[in-house]
Each structure stands twice: as C-alpha cells, then as structure tokens.
Structure 1
Amino acid sequence: MKTKLIAIASVFILTLACSPKIQLPSEDKLPPPEIPMSPELVEGKTLFLNNCSKCHDLYSPKDFNAEQWKPIMLSMQKKAEISDEEREKIYAYLTK
C-alpha cells in the first residue's frame, strides 16, 4: 500500500515538474492603458469608423503621422462626402 502511494505521489510530482509553466506578462509587455477621450475625439472616432470603413479596411491612426494624414483626409473627404467640420474631427482623432 505504501509503495502504491509513493508511486502515485512520484508520478504526480513528476507530472507537475514537467508541465509547462504559466508566465504572467511582464509590465513592459502590457498594452498601454486606454486614455479617456474628449467628446470631440469620440465623435471623430465614430465618424472615422462609420465613414471610412464603407469603402476599405481601416488604417490604424498610428500608421501615418499628422503630416501624412492631411492629404489623405483631403482626398478621402470628397469620396466619403463629409463636411469640413467632420473631416477636422476625424483628423483630430487620427492625430491625437
């Protein structure tokens, strides 16, 4: 009986020792916390999601810098048929 108990305990301990370890992500690998947005930025994001996704996949705001977004926004404004005010709100969201 003792031998069986020792054998079972040994197998259990060996199984635990050989199992993959669970690692929690280190703090430097965690995504940055979500920064609360102003109502204008929320509206710009909503306009961006609703208008730009009609014709193509959405780009990440970080794909282009503020200077690169300017001509893109002017070109897309005509195609998406959005107002200057809406364009500025989307631009503010993209360059926040």
Structure 2
Amino acid sequence: MKKTILSLMAIMLFAAACGTKKTAVAETAPAEKEIKAKELTPELAAGKSLYENSCARCHKLYEPKAYTKTEWTPILVKMGKKAKLDETQMASITSYIDSQL
C-alpha cells in the first residue's frame, strides 16, 4: 500500500513538474519588442532565447539595462554555474546582455 501511494505521488510530482513552464514576461511595449527583434543578429537572438529560457526557470527576468556591464559580469558567472550552462551558452548570453546596454 505504501509503495502504491509513494509511486502515485512520484508520478503526480513528475507530471506537475513537466507540465508547468514559467514564461518570460516582457516589460517593453509590443512595438518596441518588434524593433529590438529586427535589430538582433542570429547570434544575439540565440543569446536572448537562452537568457529567457534558462534564467526564467528560476526567477523573473531583469532588463539588461537594469545593471551595468560591471554589475552583470559576476551575476552571469554565478547564475551560469547554477543553470549548468557551458562556456558557449554563457558567451551567447553575455553578448546579448552587452548588446542591450
């Protein structure tokens, strides 16, 4: 009986974790968002996508202009380790953040 209950709880927990996905909330107006999207190169767009998808899993997204380049550096290093991002992914996110400052 205990095994059945534990198994059902594990399945429900797994289903709930897989079924919920936090999405990034844009703080800019739709027209501004379209203009910025057109200005991004494919590399910067990939960095933006990584930033939105990797960082929004755990917390709200911050506008790149909320911090200076000097303030972003330790934040990105710390969060990159927590998100288990490789060097290429971190370089892509860093390039995106830097391009928006």
TM-score in same-fold range (> 0.5): yes
2:76 matches 1:73: yes
For residues 10-21 of structure 1, the aligned pairs below 5 Å read none
Aligned partner of 1:46 among 34, 49, 72: 49
Deviation at 1:67, TM superposition (A): 1.2
**CA distance in structure 2 between the partners assigned to 1:92 and 1:77 by the alignment:** 14
Deviation at 1:45, TM superposition (A): 0.2
The residue type paired with residue 80 of structure 1 is A
Greater Rg over alpha carbons, structure: 1
Moved over 2 A (4+): none
TM-score in terms of structure 1 length: 0.64
The residue type paired with residue 85 of structure 1 is T
**CA distance in structure 1 between the partners assigned to 2:76 and 2:44 by the alignment:** 16
Query: 1:94 aligns to what?
Result: 97
**CA distance in structure 2 between the partners assigned to 1:65 and 1:38 by the alignment:** 22
Deviation at 1:63, TM superposition (A): 0.5
**CA distance in structure 2 between the partners assigned to 1:52 and 1:91 by the alignment:** 13
Query: 2:62 aligns to what?
Result: 59
Higher helix share: 2
The residue type paired with residue 87 of structure 2 is D
Deviation at 1:95, TM superposition (A): 1.2
Secondary structure class of the residue paired with 1:82: coil
Q: Percent identity?
A: 35
